Chain A
Amino acid sequence: MGVSNYIFAFTNRVMLTAFRNNALWVLVFTTLTVFLGLILAVILDRVRYETVVKSIVFMPMAISFVGAAVIWKFVYAYRPPGAPQVGILNGFLSVFHASPVGWLIERPWINNLCLIWVGVWIWTGFCMVILSAAYKGIPGQLLEAARVDGAGEWQIFRRVILPLMMPTMAVLTTTMTIFVLKIFDIVYVMTNGNFSTEVIANRMYKEMFHFRNFGRASAIAVILLVLIVPMMLINIRRFKREELLR
């Protein structure tokens, strides 16, 4: 009886979709947030209106996932061809007389990527703030010396800045991975897992409250935990190393 819940978790079609989508979330979300955060940290350092843009990019961190989900649902809003489009993306397409796209319906790539983008919109600011602090911690003389030696900006980025920021980026990558494995709110509000957008945490919620199947829900929770344990061990190891340095 106990095993059957796990057999369900690993064979049910929707569960398999959920695993695939979680993998997609981890891959795309983590890469984009850290990458965009890095780019912003480096390029914003070069302009005078840095703080204004930083505030703008960081602002979504303060609002709830529910709020962000509604905000973006409106951006993705879809009306059948011919009807006036109220979502800005399809409004933009209609300027070029292109037919509207059902951003949250087109499975499996467009809608999942559109959902993931909402997460990226929220969390890039977080990565940017942390990477920007790390970037400003790089001694200016180091970059000056490289410039004097005739290195181009791209080379400086690749050979000096990137290696020095690597440790921070590694920490951020684990943080983002841990966070995104549990992703729930965005999917719950925007599609509720319909149109092949299911994720593990939303499936667990459904098993628990819609189907009252606590056995299956528990099995899903345990799987989620097992996926996160490696990240936890990395965290503890890093913490112990830091304690030794104190």
Chain B
Amino acid sequence: MERLVRVLSRVPLHAVIIVIALIWIFPTLGVLVTSFRPAPDVATTGWWTALRVPFEFTQFTLRNYESVINQGGIGRAFLNSLIITIPATILPIVIAALAAYAFAWMRFPGRGFLFIMLVGLLVIPLQTTMIPILRVFNRLGLAGTFPGIWLAHTGYGLPLTIYLLYNFIGALPSELFDSATIDGASTLQIFFRLVLPLSITAIASVTIFQFLWVWNDLLVALIYLGGTPDVAPITVQVSSLVGSYGQDWEVLTAAVFVSMLLPLSIFFGLQRYFVRGILAGSIKG
């Protein structure tokens, strides 16, 4: 009897949690289901009607994906996203690892001031930089090119990546560095032999962040690449499909799902690093 009361008293708790979980999962589920339904069905019935007979596989089709990848330009855009994202992730991470080490363990004039600037830059809206940088890019012929957007993403990514890595590298025990110096290791040797292997998990989580940030970015791509389909990343392409296929949900949902493929696999595969990165950035203070 007592046990029953205890179980019953917890029913509201479970109910609240399950309702929240459903609210969070339903929108994405709807998109997933719709992307596999034929166009006439999508236009005339709600996607939830397909759930009444979920294992009736004849009601599903792959045609939406086929058409979105070919005619919708999503295939090309996926490739562009990769071309943009990979260098725009590696470049800032390499620079940030070196810079974080320098800020944490090297003494040089202006170090304090520079770091305060960096902390300030963390919150500067990138909108304030768009017009001046675009002017420079236009003069240098970088606007609308991949190298241009690699540079832009590197610049925008550096403050946070340096800050996150600094938090980690700065927390390494100082005895480590003392004994390495006594043994005659050079600064670069210390970096490659000591700092890098020790902070590999931190670097992994920051890399995931930067990758997702660049992959999911819309504004930077719109500004510095413009809307031309031969360089547009997948976010730009999806948002332009919203304009042209507004009500054709089978097209839009398939496009969105292709764009989510990589981020979602990274999320479910590397969730631990992802969470660790978030905590490193904000739990302090």
Contacts of B263 in A (CB 8 A): 62-64
CB–CB B218/A64 < 8 A: yes
Interface presence of B278 (CB below 8 A): yes
> Which of chain B's residues 234-285 have a Cβ closer than 8 Å to chain A?
235, 238-239, 242, 249, 252-253, 255-256, 259-260, 263-264, 266-268, 271, 274-275, 278-279, 282-285
- Distance to closest chain B CB from A105 (angstroms): 13
When chains A and B are docked, how far (Å) is the Cα of A202 from the Cα of B116?
A: 30
Interface presence of B86 (CB below 8 A): no
When chains A and B are docked, how far (Å) is the Cα of A72 from the Cα of B117?
A: 38
Closest to B208 in A: A62
Interface presence of B124 (CB below 8 A): yes
CB–CB A171/B24 < 8 A: no
Complex partner residue of B123 from A57, A66, A178, CB under 8 angstroms: A178
Interface-facing stretch out of A7-15, A26-34, A142-150, A181-189:
A181-189
- Distance to closest chain B CB from A120 (angstroms): 11
Which of A64, A121, A167, A218 neighbours the largest number of chain B CB atoms within 10 Å of its CB? A64
When chains A and B are docked, how far (Å) is the Cα of A220 from the Cα of B219?
A: 16
CB–CB B119/A72 < 8 A: no
- Distance to closest chain A CB from B229 (angstroms): 16
- Produce 1/0 per residue, B1-30, CB < 8 A to A: 000000000000110110011001111101
Interface presence of B122 (CB below 8 A): yes
Given contacts A43-B13, A185-B219, contact A71 B27 (CB under 8 A): yes
Closest to B255 in A: A70
Given contacts A43-B16, A64-B215, A84-B46, contact A235 B21 (CB under 8 A): no
When chains A and B are docked, how far (Å) is the Cα of A168 from the Cα of B25?
A: 27
Main secondary structure of the interface of A (DSSP, over half): helix
CB–CB B253/A171 < 8 A: no
CB–CB A228/B123 < 8 A: yes
Interface presence of A23 (CB below 8 A): no
CB–CB B30/A130 < 8 A: no
Given contacts A74-B31, A88-B46, A185-B218, contact A218 B131 (CB under 8 A): yes
CB–CB A133/B285 < 8 A: no
CB–CB B249/A86 < 8 A: yes
Main secondary structure of the interface of B (DSSP, over half): helix
Closest to B119 in A: A239
CB–CB A62/B127 < 8 A: no
CB–CB A121/B24 < 8 A: yes
Interface presence of B120 (CB below 8 A): yes
CB–CB A62/B24 < 8 A: no
CB–CB B123/A235 < 8 A: yes
When chains A and B are docked, how far (Å) is the Cα of A74 from the Cα of B246?
A: 10
Interface presence of A166 (CB below 8 A): no
Interface presence of A114 (CB below 8 A): no
Given contacts A44-B17, A129-B275, A236-B120, contact A189 B239 (CB under 8 A): yes
Interface presence of A85 (CB below 8 A): yes
Interface presence of B170 (CB below 8 A): yes
Contacts of B58 in A (CB 8 A): none
Interface presence of B194 (CB below 8 A): no
Interface presence of A201 (CB below 8 A): yes
Interface presence of A3 (CB below 8 A): no
Closest to B213 in A: A64
When chains A and B are docked, how far (Å) is the Cα of A205 from the Cα of B267?
A: 31
CB–CB B30/A75 < 8 A: yes
CB–CB B238/A70 < 8 A: yes
Contacts of B105 in A (CB 8 A): none
CB–CB B17/A85 < 8 A: no
When chains A and B are docked, how far (Å) is the Cα of A74 from the Cα of B123?
A: 32
Interface presence of B212 (CB below 8 A): yes
Contacts of B179 in A (CB 8 A): none
Closest to B46 in A: A91
Interface presence of A138 (CB below 8 A): no
CB–CB B131/A74 < 8 A: no
Closest to B132 in A: A218
Interface presence of A222 (CB below 8 A): yes
CB–CB B48/A91 < 8 A: yes
Contacts of A61 in B (CB 8 A): 267, 274
A-B contact pairs, 11 of them (CB 8 A): A58-B271, A61-B274, A67-B238, A74-B27, A88-B30, A188-B218, A188-B239, A189-B218, A189-B239, A231-B123, A235-B123
Q: Which 8 A-B pairs have the closest CB atoms?
A: A64-B216, A62-B267, A91-B46, A62-B263, A66-B235, A221-B128, A182-B125, A70-B256
Q: A182-B125, A208-B131 are in contact. List 16 more A-B contacts (CB 8 A).
A: A52-B21, A57-B21, A64-B218, A66-B239, A72-B27, A84-B45, A88-B26, A129-B279, A189-B218, A189-B242, A201-B219, A204-B127, A217-B131, A220-B127, A224-B128, A240-B116
